[in-house]
Amino acid sequence: MLAPFCDAGWLTAHLDDVVVCDVRWYLDGRSGRAGYEGGHIPGAIWVDLETDLSAPPGDAGRHPFPTPQAFAEAMGSLGIGDGDTVAAYDDDGGAIAARLVWMLRAIGHDATLLDGGIAAWPGTLSTEPVTRPAASFTAAPWPAERMAGIDEAAATSDVVIDGRAADRYAGASDAYDPRWGHIPGARSLPTREHLGDDGRLQDPDALRRRFAAVGIDEGTGVVSYCGSGVNACHNLLVMEHAGLGRGRLFPGSWSQWSRDPARPLETGA
């Protein structure tokens, strides 16, 4: 299987061999599709986080995982087939596109995330929308060993990490969820802080130090969550990139936890 991250040089050399996916999305409501149409890596298709990578919002959170069948149908309709390799990017350091890459890798497909996102692309951008012929993508169950449900997130002996910005972890109010704070015992590890000033990942030694600071070394059991199960995927890919194992995803994340008033919460750093 491919490494979880690739650089722009690798993507340039393999542009004709992969399906390039633009997975831009914005929490503030801006249009990811408009961003794609304003300029994307040549040949890239646009993938919609809301409809292609998520079920409708509800009690399971703002971006629940789709059923395996729904995910397979979405991939096939985009022109991604069983034998295709995917390279995905966004304009947020990979924090959004990681969702697609993690989902594909979890069920055994080759997928990689462009380190540095669209800003790392050295060539010209295209404004020509791209569509691919429909393809055959076989539905596969989400692997239980890679996932953690809401009750496991509450009672696990694994290290639970929160990938949101530190202020949201601490309890800053926002318009996204009904309660604010974090899962009791969870440790703050904002995934965007894995990036250097150039928007690319810090070197592996620096990344390992960041994980070690919250109690994670090679072989440590980890459950990763964030606001709605998107950025949490980036933390898991970075963890794998740093040689620390693969961890588990809590897909409902804070958006599911905060909807249940019986679930306790903590605030503060």
Told to judge if 226 belongs to the known catalytic residues of this protein, a careful annotator would answer yes
Task: Confirm if 262 and 178 have CB atoms less than 8 A apart.
Answer: no
Instruction: Phi first, then psi: give them for residue 261, nearest 5 degrees.
Output: -65, -15
Q: Which of 6, 21, 226, 233 is catalytic?
A: 226
Task: Confirm if 185 and 215 have CB atoms less than 8 A apart.
Answer: no
**DSSP state for residue 141 in the 8-state scheme:** P
Angle of helix 204-212 relative to helix 231-241, nearest 10 degrees?
A: 120
What is the number of alpha carbons within 13 Å of residue 3 lying toward its C-beta?
11
**Which strands, in side-by-side order, build the sheet including 248-249?**
187-188, 159-162, 222-225, 248-249
- Alpha-carbon separation of residue 180 from 103, 234, 255, 257, 268 (angstroms): 27, 22, 10, 10, 10
Q: How far apart are CA 2 and CA 173, in angstroms?
A: 39
Tokens representing 268 are 């503060």
Question: What amino acid positions are annotated as catalytic residues?
Answer: 226
